Structures are given as structure tokens and as C-alpha cells.
Chains A and B, each alone.
Chain A
Amino acid sequence: MPAKPNSRNWNDVQTAIAAVAVVLTLGLWNLFAQPAKSASAQTEQPPTPPPSEPPAAIEPTAIPQVKIMFTQAAPQTVTTSEQQVPKKKKNKNNDGGGGGGTVTQTKSS
């Protein structure tokens, strides 16, 4: 009647192997299945433009351009008060290329 302890040991080994197998399965599942889940979650999200892309880039431009022609006055006005650059003295022999003190420029319009 001495065989009982041996069969009990075998059962313990089987239980241990089964537990290790379950742990390994769960570990591998978490290791490989998790990225797949996140990837599928990303693909399920509705497509959105990158945050850096300005909304104006995907809007039709024709209408705003016409609108600018109609109300060009309002949005782009900037008033500044400034101390003028020291004036260059009038000099008939100037080289013509200066103009550091010029207020503005006449050009073809």
C-alpha cells in the first residue's frame, strides 16, 4: 500500500503544469493581443485632419476671396504709433539707393 504518495505527486505536477500553461497563455495573450486591440481601435476612429492643418486649407477658397473684395477694410487694419527713424538729410549727391528714413514707396500700381 505504498503507491498513494507517488500518484498524489503526479497530480501535483499536472496541476502545476496546467497552472503554468494558463499563466503563459494569458501572458502571451496580453503581449500580442493588446496592440492588435489598439490598432483596431485606431482604425475605428473617424478620420480627422491633423491638428496642425489650418481649417481654412480644407475650405473652398473662392467664396472667402470674393468676400475679401467686398470687405477688405475690416480685419487687417493695424494702427501703430512709432518714433520715426532719424531722417536722412537731403543730399543732391545721394546714391539713390538709400532711403532709411522713407515713409513709404511709390511703385507701379
Chain B
Amino acid sequence: MAAEAVERSHRPSHPDMLHRLKFRAMGCEMLAVVDRETAPVKLSQVPEWFEEWEQSLSRFRYDSELTRLNQTCGQPVRVSEILWDVFLTASKAERMTNGLVTPTLLDAIIEAGYDRPFDELPDRLDQIQPDPAAPISDSVLTTSQPLTAISCNDSSRTITLPIGMGLDFGGVAKGWAAHRAMQRLQAEGPALIDAGGDIAISGPRADGDPWQIGIADPFHAGENIEVLYLNACGVATSGKDRRRWMHDGIFQHHIIDPLTGHPAESDLLTVTVIAPDVMQAEAAAKAAFILGSRAGLEWIEARPEFTGVFVLDNGEMLYSENADEYL
């Protein structure tokens, strides 16, 4: 005990300094954090980076590069490095999830009523009080075209969409942006980017400790249902507790099951996944949500690089076997 007391007394007395920058982008609250004593120069540039990426990747901007691409079906279009990189990221996510997470569901998400930025939806359900008894839209078996239906040329960076197909990068774009911003910012020190809940972390804190990240309690706004201790990784949560709305009198959410073309009917309320990077975490969380609690947990545990924390509709929580490493 005495030795411990001496060690504490000799610990450097500099305070932990977190430099935070909050802003809005991509329809979400964003947070950029750098852990260092002096002010990081690049931190103030982060909103500009997101603005540039959003102008390329947003389906809600009539003059974005993605909107223009979606309007030129059947014709090869040379795209920017940004859009090309996100397209490749979406392709990886689709392969990793066996097609469960695909950006080719633009028509389905619009048909479900998500045809404008979420903040502007007339019948959105902001309160996160899940109602398991709420009816979900009837499932009608439809087939979504995979990304392999798209002709693309790596050397010329051109994409040719089949007629009738549109792309919606959605969460993939957000995860990609968080990861890219974190990579740029980590030159300033240990960095964290929180893109509306999808979080990219460069490595341990300046003092070597892990970052403490809360998992939002879907039943009590603002509270944590669990606390994670994370180093270099990505963590993301998908669920139906947010981005819910009513369309034609039917409860809808934004996670589309490609097998049905409708919002996924899942017994899960939220799925949180820790992965080597936030892009994988985002895709894995969405895939597990679509699969449901049983198959979703099996899918996560079959991939040891992933860790899952599930919250079911009834409030029950499920953890993958390796979750203890982060709790």
C-alpha cells in the first residue's frame, strides 16, 4: 500500500485535456475529439472535410455527385476519388454481410417514406419509446439488385448504374467519413470521431488509458446501458429506436431488409458492434439487426474480430462471448 501511495504521488500532474469540436453534418450531430495539452490545429478543419464529403455523397442534395450519378442510369460516369472510395467500401460491406447491407435499396427506402432528410419527415417518431406491438409493414418478397449488377472500371474510375437502380450509401458513407476524419486527425494526437453514434478511435488516450464510450440506453434518453473501454477500433450501433416514422399509417424504420424490400422485422431494438474499424462495425451492426437476435449473435460470434452487444425489444441484453474484453 505504501509503495502504491508513493507511485501515485510521483505521477505527473498535467491534466487530461480533451479538445472537442461539435458540429452538424450528414443529418447528425458530430463530435471530433483530440487528446493533447495544446490546441490541435486541424480540429477546426473537420467540419470542412465533412462538408466536402457530404456534397459528394448525399442523396438529399439535388446537386451532389451521388444525385447526378443516380440520374444517369445506363451511362458510364467518371466519379471522384471520394465517391469511388465509398463505393468500394460499400462493396466490401456487401460481400462481408452476404448482401444484407447494400446501397442498392434507394427505391425501397424512398417507398418506405424516407424521401427527404429525416429532420424534415412529417410523421417522424422522435421519442425513443419502442412499441413492440406496433405493426410493421407487410413483407412482400422483392429482389434487390446486388452491387455486382453495376459495371465499374477501376482504371478509369467510372460507374455505370443499371437502368432503374439508384445508390444510397447511408450509414456506409457516415462510417467512411468518421474513419477518414480520424485518420487525418490522429497526426495531432489520440483522436476520436463520433459521426452520429458511429465512432472511430485512433488508439489509446494520451495517458495510455482506453476511451470510455457509453452505449445509449434505448429506453431512457441520455443514459448509458453499458460502458465500453476502447482503444484503436470502431464502434457503431444500429437499431429501430431512432429514425422511425409513420408512413401510410404504418410504423417504419430505416434499416431495409434486402430480401423483402421493407424495414427489417427484427426482435432486436439496437445492436452495437465493436470492430477493427467503424466501417466494418456499422455494416456488421446492421447485418446482425436484420438477422435478429439468434442468427445475429451467431453471425457475430463466428467472426472473432467483432464484438456485439444486443438489446432486444423486451429490454433483455445479449453479449457476444468476447464482450468482457471491453466492459
Contact = CB atoms under 8 A, between A and B. Distances in A.
Interface size class of B (residues with CB under 8 A): 35 or more
A42 interface: no
A82 B20 contact: yes
Interface string A83-103: 110011010101011110111
Interface of A: 65, 68-74, 76-84, 87-88, 90, 92, 94, 96-99, 101-109
B23 A72 contact: yes
B259 interface: no
Interface string B210-234: 1111111110000111111100000
Contacts of A81: 17-20, 39
Interface in B18-49: 18-25, 27-28, 31, 33, 39, 43-44, 47-48
B229 A73 contact: no
B215 A106 contact: yes
A99 B28 contact: no
A104 B31 contact: yes
A6 to B, nearest CB: 94
A103 B35 CA distance: 11
A104 B29 CA distance: 11
A84 B39 CA distance: 15
Nearest to B24: A72
A69 B197 contact: no
B25 A73 contact: yes
B270 interface: yes
B47 A105 contact: no
B270 A108 contact: yes
